[in-house]
Amino acid sequence: MKNIIKVLLYTEDIGLHGTSRAIVNLANMFASKNYEVIFVYNCSLCSEHTLESSIKKVLLKSKRPLALKSKFLRILLLIINSVKLRKIINSMEINYAIAFRPYCILQVIFASIFSNTKTIISVRVDPQTIFSTSHSKWFYKRLYSLADGCVFQTKEARDFFPERLKAKSVIIQNIVDKKLWEIECENERSDIIGVGRLSKQKNWHVAISAFSKIKDMIKENFVIYGIGDSECDLKEYVNQIGLNDRIIFAGVTNEIESKICNAKIFVLSSDYEGTPNALIEALILGIPCVCTKFKGGGAENLIEARKNGLLVPRDDVDAFAKAMLQLLNDTTYAETIGFNAKMRARKEFDPYLIFEQWESFIISI
């Protein structure tokens, strides 16, 4: 009888945001292909993505390290969680441990030292931005190189790291839910939609300010899905510019696809990203997109300017407003953009083909 391969995936949480959605999709795909999947995460949230029933969930009940002010306590927590994780890896005889996000990556690397478990790390955000100091660059470049393999989302992210890591790496895009292929726009398109964490990284002020410039020329409202530590500041800003009745903060939902499928346009004004799951999903659904050329290279990889979406410079409110207005006023052009986006994205992001890339990579390791 063929031995079942045991795969452990480790991340901070499975809350209703794009990163978790991509990781849960990958875990569910592993489970559907008869791998034994153990999903380890640090924090339990009120609203979470759904894992397949066959997946074993393990909650470490850990505090978020960045919430601790003391550097000593952050290091201590890293050590404690690494020990916990090592016990799980050894007791369950894990074949492959896959980690997402910097803090979890360090734990998996430390926990797997001198074990038979192969470690795979996934770099999902622009490393040039998050490892901005010379000390952090030196530290993470060397620690990440201890992994047995690395999955990047963009060439730009891979180029940040030394040859030692690049030589055992691959570029693989996010796995999206196959149900996206079954969703079609049934009603007349309405509203401008944005999806993502309400955080400094996403730079929602650009999209909101751009909307305020064109609000009197359009009838559409701006609906934002997401939560985050910038929520109060953003709501206060919307209140200050008098747009409470036109800009709607809709929170989070586990049915985001059906909520956004009839949007007139999708907007993303981030400063830096990896490859945003929300943008991929909008392209697959055929929603015309306006996106900043954020750091990390993901925008240019997904969008060919003026063919399957519109790209604008980062932090350029006027250019963002102009691009939004163009798609809202020129219905024929917007439909062409949306159709091109849908055709390209549905070919490039077939979840089965992307999982085959993951499977081939871990087998090669």
H or E stretch covering 196: none
Number of domains into which the chain is organized: 2
Does residue 245 lie in a domain region? yes
234 lies in the same domain as 332: yes
pLDDT for residue 63 is more than 80:
no
pLDDT in tens, 322-331: 999 999 999 9
121 lies in the same domain as 222: no
78 lies in the same domain as 192: no
Q: Rounded to whole angstroms, how far apart are CA atoms 17 and 3?
A: 34
59 lies in the same domain as 147: yes
What does the pLDDT read at residue 3? 82
What does the pLDDT read at residue 1? 43
Does residue 73 lie in a domain region? yes
pLDDT for residue 27 is more than 80:
yes
Does residue 1 lie in a domain region? no
List Cα–Cα distances, 68 to 65, 74, 131, 329, 354, in angstroms. Answer: 6, 6, 19, 49, 37
Mean pLDDT of 234-257: 97
CA dihedral 140, 142, 144, 145 (to 10 degrees): 160
316 lies in the same domain as 191: yes
186 lies in the same domain as 171: no
Does residue 315 lie in a domain region? yes
**What's the mean pLDDT when you consider all of the chain?**
94
132 lies in the same domain as 184: no
354 lies in the same domain as 344: no
Residue 197: which CATH number? Answer: 3.40.50.2000
What does the pLDDT read at residue 72? 83
Q: Rounded to whole angstroms, how far apart are CA atoms 42 and 81?
A: 9
Nearest Cα residue to 49 out of 175, 232, 204, 234 = 175
What does the pLDDT read at residue 74? 81
> Which residue in the block uniquely carries the two structure tokens 């990203």?
273
What is the percent of the chain where pLDDT is above 90? 89
Residue 71 banded pLDDT, cuts 50, 70, 90: confident
pTM beyond 0.85: the answer is yes
Mean pLDDT of 343-361: 97
What does the pLDDT read at residue 77? 86
139 lies in the same domain as 189: no
Q: CA-based Rg of the chain, rounded to a whole angstrom?
A: 21
The tokens for 310 are 């519109």
pLDDT in tens, 160-212: 999 999 999 999 999 999 999 999 877 789 999 999 999 999 999 999 999 99
203 lies in the same domain as 336: yes
76 lies in the same domain as 147: yes
121 lies in the same domain as 149: yes
Does residue 252 lie in a domain region? yes
Mean pLDDT of 272-285: 96
Mean pLDDT of 235-250: 98
Q: Which domain holds residue 271?
A: 179-348
